[in-house]
Amino acid sequence: MAISRAQLAKELEPGLNALFGLEYNRYERQHEEIYTEESSDRAFEEEQMLSGFGSAPVKAEGAGVQYDQAGETYTARYTHETISLAFAITAEAVEDNLYDRLATRYTRALARSMAHTQQVKAAAVLNNAFNAAFPVGDGVSLVNAAHPTLTGNRSNVLAVPADLNETSLEEMLIQIQDFRDEKGLRIALQGRKLIVPKELQFTAERILKSTLRVGTSDNDVNAMKSMGMLPEGYAVNNFLLDPQAYWVLTDAPDGFKYFNRVPVTTKSEGDFDTDNFRFKARQRYSFGVSDWRAVIGTPGA
């Protein structure tokens, strides 16, 4: 339904001092703190997890060499969604408006809506990270104590749920260094960035930026800072829903990915029958994770 003069009554009368409500600043492109962007030219993208070989055994003198198997394990699929929104304005509303170009003002509002949806979609991967109803490629939730591998289940969740503090963060960093590949070999991963909701930003600042330990009277150094842990610091995401949950991103390759299938495009046209002006924005993309080893998290205590 088109926006008509009845919905813009005050803008048709003289004496109006200001128009407000559409010019707020917005949180945008926060997904860039988490995702690596790639382009796509198909309906969906798939990435395949491979297994190498296990630990090499001792070969007894005169005995035959032992053979091992390698191959494919699970597949991560990114299915692109189409995001689109439009609005229409009657010709009379445009002609009789006294204060502004309606098309310009509402086109900016349209862009704001598209950007908001993109950030909600990006944050949904972490918001659903502990939810079994949203499995990743290996069939369990992104952050889970039982990721199936060829040598047993592996965990990327803090063993005992805990609120964000120095101890819990150190435990996460230690656990990351014990991550294994599909055949159980240790892999050299490190935590690189802490992701927190707005409610934990001040706690994160104190933990990571203090020269000495936080909340103690001891003269101990802040070990994480002095050792160069979490070299990318922390990032606040304003679209995270749980005020207690937090995550540490690792330097595992092929982790969080954003596939940009069709960049945002806008179109406008006049309707022959009604003389309404119509405006539309459209975009296609997908957010997801290929390798669960790219993150460790906890829902908090």
Q: Is residue 156 part of a domain?
A: yes
Mean pLDDT for the chain overall: 89
Q: Is residue 65 part of a domain?
A: no
Q: Is residue 59 part of a domain?
A: no
Q: Domain with 229 in it: what CATH number?
A: 3.90.1690
Q: pLDDT per residue over 163-195, tens digit each?
A: 999 999 999 999 999 999 999 999 999 999 999
Contacts of 101 (CB under 8 A, 6+ apart): none
Q: pLDDT per residue over 104-125, tens digit each?
A: 777 888 888 999 999 999 999 9
pLDDT of residue 28: 83
Q: Which two tokens stand for residue 44?
A: 């969906």
CA distances from 19 to 11, 27, 107, 227 (A): 9, 22, 15, 53
Q: pLDDT per residue over 234-279, tens digit each?
A: 999 999 999 999 999 999 999 999 999 999 998 888 888 888 888 8
Q: Is residue 46 part of a domain?
A: yes
Listed range (9-13, 85-89, 92-96, 184-188) with the worst mean pLDDT? 9-13
Q: How confident is the model at residue 281 (pLDDT cuts 50, 70, 90)?
A: very high
Q: pLDDT per residue over 146-159, tens digit each?
A: 999 999 999 999 99
Amino acid (1-letter code) at residue 162: A
CB 84 within 8 A of CB 183: no
The CA distance from 51 to 181, in Å, is 8
CA angle (278, 279, 282) in 5-degree steps: 135
Mean per-residue pLDDT, 53-66: 94
Q: How confident is the model at residue 160 (pLDDT cuts 50, 70, 90)?
A: very high
Mean per-residue pLDDT, 194-210: 96
Q: Is residue 228 part of a domain?
A: yes
Our measurement of the distance from residue 48's CA atom to the centroid of its chain's CA atoms, rounded to an integer in Å, reads: 21
Q: Which long-range contacts (CB under 8 A, 24 or more apart) does 123-127 make?
A: 123/30, 123/31, 123/237, 123/239, 123/240, 123/241, 124/287, 125/256, 125/287, 125/288, 125/289, 126/34, 126/195, 126/237, 126/240, 126/245, 126/247, 126/297, 127/239, 127/240, 127/241, 127/242
The domain in which residue 157 lies consists of 31-51+74-298
Mean per-residue pLDDT, 126-146: 98
Q: Is residue 67 part of a domain?
A: no
Q: Is residue 257 part of a domain?
A: yes
Number of domains in the chain: 1
Q: Is 114 strand, coil or helix?
A: helix
Q: Is residue 3 part of a domain?
A: no
Q: What is the pTM of this model?
A: 0.89
